[in-house]
Amino acid sequence: MFLSHLLAYFTLSTVKDSKKETMTVATDDTVLPIVDLSGYINPKSPEDKERVIAEVRDACARYGFFQVKGHGVPLKMQEGLIQGLSNFFSQPREEKLKLSFLKNPCRRGYEASGDSLREGDAHPDSKEAFYIGREDPVVEPPGFYGPNQWPPNLPEEAFHAPVWSYYQNTNALGRTIWEILLQGLGHPTSVLDVFAQRPIVQMKMIRYPPASATKPGQFGVGAHTDFGGVTVLLQQAGKEGLEVWSEAKAEWLPVPSIEDVLVINCGDMIQKWSGGRYKSAKHRVINKADEERLSCATFWHGDSGATNPLDPADENRDTVGQLLFKRFGKQFSLSKGVGV
């Protein structure tokens, strides 16, 4: 289906066959580690940075996921974003559809509930979403760079201002996570000077409907792995739903929604480029509460023309843009100039 494959670019995910997974959810005290990034961002000693690098390296090697506090994204900014999402998604459906991402050459804007159906799932995802990226004045083929579209009927302070502030802060955080991942494999942070001069950074804002508004067996988001680089996820505090698949335990690990704690994970590109030293783990969302759930994911990939920073000796010289285009190229309105 065109729509189901189209959504892959925005989530930048790879679909896994859900029939191969059990529905077992972890019931013990197994939780993803929480890393305090303040030791890296504001270290009091060289050992502080080394400790954070080691903790992130170990978490990515074991789970492909971890949680962070001390990340530098102010709580008030997170709350402002959540309110902005509520303001947008509470609009009438016809108003949101005027900003449909299906009509946008950069595939930015609104995705309606039911637009994404993953192989092996009985029903389409119940979520609805809104996508933005870096703000560039013109569309550049094949659509990785270009302008955003914003809801014209919402005041600046009701949506654009809080959303853009949060985007800029998680853009910076995504770069910090890449720095840490590089050092975890013995590379200097200067690698980013080449890899990330003009990084592709997409942000996906999501609303999951109440459980009573979904069909039996319908996921908020079906099981998948993120396709690209680093994902920074904000979950609305106290609204559970995210689950990560543990290969070692063969069960789903629920990820709690904790105030001022963000979730970080690696995508398939990082797993490939690290030679498997960092994992890309399957995850899904099931909103089990009878109230809406809001979240926001920022995907940080690097420059369209950048090659593998985790192994500079890699003989495969595929760029970020080429890898994305090879996988998702048919979904763009533009077809030439992939930033090589």
Instruction: Average the pLDDT over each of 164-173, 238-247, 317-326 and give the range with the smallest value.
Output: 317-326
Of 36, 68, 78, 132, residue with least CA distance to 264 = 68
Query: Distance between CA atoms of 333 and 106, rounded to whole angstroms?
Result: 8
Quick check: 292 pLDDT over 80?
Answer: yes
Render pLDDT for 309-332 as a digit per residue (tens, 0 to 9): 999 889 999 999 888 877 665 444
pTM above 0.85, yes or no: yes
Across the range 21-49, mean pLDDT stands at: 78
By percentage, how much of the chain surpasses pLDDT 90? 74
CA-CA-CA-CA torsion sign (247, 226, 42, 164): negative
Model pLDDT, residue 217:
86
Quick check: 336 pLDDT over 50?
Answer: no
Helix 2-11 crosses helix 320-328 at what angle (to 10 degrees)? 160
Give how far Cα 101 sits from Cα of 55, 148, 149, 154, 163, Å. Answer: 38, 10, 9, 18, 17
Model pLDDT, residue 329:
54
